[in-house]
Structure 1
Amino acid sequence: MDFSLNQEQEMFRNYVRKYLDDVGQTKVAREFTEGNTSSFQALYAGLAELGCASVNVSEENGGMGLGQLDLVPILEETGRALLPGLYLETNALAVPLLEKYGTEEQKAKYLAAIASGEHTFTVAWLEPSGNYKPSNVKLNGTLQDDVLTLNGVKSLVPDVELANSLLVLVRTSEGQGAEGISLVIVDCDDVSLQVQPQKNMDETRLLAEVTFNDVQVSSQQILGTIDHGWDVLQEGLLSFNAALCSSIVGSMEKIVETAVEYANIREQFNQPIGRFQAIKHRLVDMKMDLETARSLAYYANWAIESNADDKVEAVSSARLFATEAFIKVASQSIQIHGGIGFTEEIDCHLYVKRARFYENYLGSTQQYYEQAAVALGW
């Protein structure tokens, strides 16, 4: 079975790459780490004009109505450029969830705005000293009449400053397990949130602690059925993780290209270091990891789009391999570059930091091993 992209998808990739080349690829990410977000905002607006934000939004809601595989070329190219912001969280998580579980009012309110590039989502899941398990969701939601009052703290929330809405996991019924958790959309402009910035190794992603003190939202903001938000989120995470793998593949591809180029121009003992067997072997290993991750990512996205029976194990396997291979390839690139690889002069450090950020993002490695094992019937 052929899982390669079709001609139209490859053409769209070329448009996105040309646009990102024109703005300097990782230049925007570097400026973002220095606090200059204006160039990123202009970049995101340009991507929206190209149609990147509307690809998987249904036609009746102002989008193109395309599938998961049509996101792949965009994600690979934004991964190459280490694009900051919330494109993944918005288009690969919020959009599929709104399309499947959103009410007609929620779809009308958010999807058209997402398609135009004017609305983005982030995810508020983790809590202080907690983990990604349902027992650690303790932010309390009290429903009275049609008003849901939220009290609690979420930590390590990505890019709150760039988000228009938050997908918040809320404990709406007593208990420790998945039952009793709801997924609530909180619009940042409609409520007063206390946001405290937190340090992050990957400076292209801004983390923050968000405090909810008697924050009131309408019960119409609950996504899916009340008390069953955990299952809704897990369904969305399949689409998200498949998309994340494609973004990682884009980053890995750029790393391999850069390492090969450097090995061909850096000379030692009057010859390029790429002629040394040790370097050749390392580059081959990096290329093998890249192509394996690409194949797994393509299959995972195809499985999501076609709703294949093995989509859970396909996504879990791709996520596990891609995140671990990303760390390994990024680290090997620094080794090939030698001393200069440890400086900020070139981009090696940016990719290592992004790789470590994704290692346990929206789920730990151990959880995905367990998910894959259960799906495979082990």
Structure 2
Amino acid sequence: MDFSLTEDQEMFRGQIRKMLDKFGGTQVAREMIADKPESLKKVYSTLAELGCSGINIPEEYDGLDLEALDLVPTFEELGRSLVPGLFMETNALVVPIIKKYGTDEQKKNYLTAIAAGDKQVSFAALEPFNDFSRQGIQCSLAKKDGQYVLNGTKILVPEAELADAFLLVVRTSEDVEDGLSLVLIDAVDELNIERQLSFDEAKHVAKIECNQLVITEEQIIGEVNKGWEQLQEGLLYFNAALSSYMVGAMEHVVHMAAEYAKIREQFGQPIGRFQAVKHSIVDMKVHLEIARSLSYYANWVVDTEENDREAAVYSARTYATEKFIEAASQNIQLHGGIGFTEELDCHLYVKRARYYDQYLGSTPFYQEKVVASLGW
């Protein structure tokens, strides 16, 4: 079975790469480090013009009604240039959840705006001193006097200052097995947003405090007390997309390493002629192609009912994460002392690799999911 991209998808990838190169590639990430989001906003506006934001949204909501595999070129190119922002959270997590569990009114309000590029949605899950698990969610949503009242704190919320809305996973019951629910809230003044430090300075994170925030029943996605189960469906799409993003980043890391090995000379010849350097770059390339194959299959299978759906997605996520970290670290070692300087992009890729290593679940967390899904 051939999971390689079609000619049209490769041509589309070329258009996205050309656009991102005009913005300077990783320059967008560097400007975010300097707290200048203007270029990032222009990038997302241009992505919307190209139709990227509507790829997996139904036609009735002004989308292209395509599948997860059609988003792969976009995510790979975003990864190649380390573009930060909320495209992945919005289109690969929030959109699949709303499509499957949202009401007609929620789909009309959110999917139409997302397809037009007018709405970016962040995801708030982690809480202080808790891990990413069902038991770790204690932010509460309680029904009081006919209204729903939200109380609690979320931390490490990505790009909160750029978000138009937030998808929150909250606790609605202590008495049932799931007991969680998903809610969509718009960015309102009542939300107390405070910037937090991030290991990857280009990925801004924040703490959000909800104090007696009143929401309506129409803001709850899907069934009450089944939020964790519904979230798992969204995480399949998200992790498939994340594997593609990391493949794109790995591809550029391998390119950087190979190009530097051609021009850096030692003992009168390019270091690329030394066997140890050759083997290192070949290993990186092999790992890249394995990760790419796993990513393509994961993005295909996620839209099917295949038995290995979960195993395929989480295998792609864990393998791509591990090999992205290895490749980024090896790239710095190959560059030597100059690889540690801020002038080169090497450090940007290491930080992004480490950022996603623990994002919405660690690598061991997803390895256990692979094992469980295979029934081992």
Q: TM-score, normalised by structure 2?
A: 0.98
Residues 293-319 of structure 1, C-alpha deviations (whole Å, 9 max, x = no match): 001101111111233221100011111
Aligned counterparts of 2:365 and 2:337: Cα–Cα separation in 1: 36
Aligned counterparts of 2:64 and 2:170: Cα–Cα separation in 1: 32
Aligned counterparts of 1:114 and 1:315: Cα–Cα separation in 2: 25
Q: SS at the partner of 1:153?
A: strand
Aligned counterparts of 1:117 and 1:283: Cα–Cα separation in 2: 39
Which residue identity does 1:222 align to in structure 2? I
Which residue identity does 2:286 align to in structure 1? M
Written as runs of structure 1 = structure 2, the 5 A alignment for 1:61-210 is: 61-144=61-144, 146-175=146-175, 179-189=178-188, 192-210=190-208
Contact 1:134 1:178 in 2 (8 A): no
TM-fit CA distance, 1:340: 0.6
Equivalent position of 2:277 in the other structure: 279
Picking from 309, 313, 337, the partner of 2:307 is 309
Aligned counterparts of 1:202 and 1:358: Cα–Cα separation in 2: 10
Equivalent position of 1:222 in the other structure: 220
Equivalent position of 1:39 in the other structure: 39
Written as runs of structure 1 = structure 2, the 5 A alignment for 1:336-375 is: 336-375=334-373
Residues 113-163 of structure 1, C-alpha deviations (whole Å, 9 max, x = no match): 100111011111010010011111101111136521001111111111011
Q: SS at the partner of 1:305?
A: coil
Aligned counterparts of 1:99 and 1:299: Cα–Cα separation in 2: 22
Equivalent position of 2:291 in the other structure: 293
Residues 342-361 of structure 1, C-alpha deviations (whole Å, 9 max, x = no match): 00011000000000000010
Q: SS at the partner of 2:365?
A: helix
Q: SS at the partner of 2:203?
A: coil
Picking from 235, 238, 243, the partner of 1:237 is 235
Q: SS at the partner of 1:226?
A: coil
TM-fit CA distance, 1:178: 5.0
Equivalent position of 2:55 in the other structure: 55
Stretch deviating more after TM superposition (143-152 or 253-262): 143-152
TM-fit CA distance, 1:167: 0.8
Aligned counterparts of 1:131 and 1:252: Cα–Cα separation in 2: 28
Q: SS at the partner of 1:280?
A: helix
Aligned counterparts of 1:145 and 1:106: Cα–Cα separation in 2: 24
Aligned counterparts of 2:20 and 2:283: Cα–Cα separation in 1: 28
The size of the alignment, in residue pairs, is 376
Equivalent position of 2:25 in the other structure: 25
Which residue identity does 1:4 align to in structure 2? S
Equivalent position of 1:320 in the other structure: 318
Aligned counterparts of 1:364 and 1:39: Cα–Cα separation in 2: 31
Stretch deviating more after TM superposition (164-173 or 303-312): 303-312
> CA separation of 1:178/1:13 partners in 2, compared to 1, >3 Å: closer, same or farther?
farther
Aligned-pair Cα RMSD in Å: 1.0
Picking from 262, 267, 270, the partner of 2:268 is 270
Q: SS at the partner of 1:227?
A: coil
Contact 1:178 1:230 in 2 (8 A): no
TM-fit CA distance, 1:90: 0.2
Contact 1:146 1:219 in 2 (8 A): no
In structure 1, runs of 5+ residues without a counterpart are: none
Contact 1:125 1:154 in 2 (8 A): yes
Which residue identity does 2:256 align to in structure 1? T
Residues 169-208 of structure 1, C-alpha deviations (whole Å, 9 max, x = no match): 1111124x7511001111113x511111110011111111
Which residue identity does 1:143 align to in structure 2? K
Equivalent position of 1:14 in the other structure: 14
Residues 4-63 of structure 1, C-alpha deviations (whole Å, 9 max, x = no match): 001111111011011111111111111111011111111111111111111111100010
> CA separation of 1:178/1:261 partners in 2, compared to 1, >3 Å: closer, same or farther?
farther
Contact 1:146 1:218 in 2 (8 A): no
Q: SS at the partner of 1:155?
A: strand
Q: SS at the partner of 1:109?
A: helix
Residues 45-82 of structure 1, C-alpha deviations (whole Å, 9 max, x = no match): 11111111111111000100000000000000000010
> CA separation of 1:128/1:300 partners in 2, compared to 1, >3 Å: closer, same or farther?
same
Q: SS at the partner of 1:136?
A: coil
Contact 1:98 1:223 in 2 (8 A): yes
In structure 2, runs of 5+ residues without a counterpart are: none
Stretch deviating more after TM superposition (60-69 or 143-152): 143-152
Equivalent position of 1:3 in the other structure: 3
Q: SS at the partner of 2:198?
A: coil
Q: TM-score, normalised by structure 1?
A: 0.98
Aligned counterparts of 2:360 and 2:98: Cα–Cα separation in 1: 19
Aligned counterparts of 2:213 and 2:108: Cα–Cα separation in 1: 24
TM-fit CA distance, 1:366: 2.0
Which residue identity does 2:187 align to in structure 1? C
Aligned counterparts of 1:169 and 1:42: Cα–Cα separation in 2: 30
Q: SS at the partner of 2:90?
A: helix
Which residue identity does 1:78 align to in structure 2? L
Contact 1:56 1:68 in 2 (8 A): yes
Q: How high is the sequence identity, in percent, across the aligned residues?
A: 53
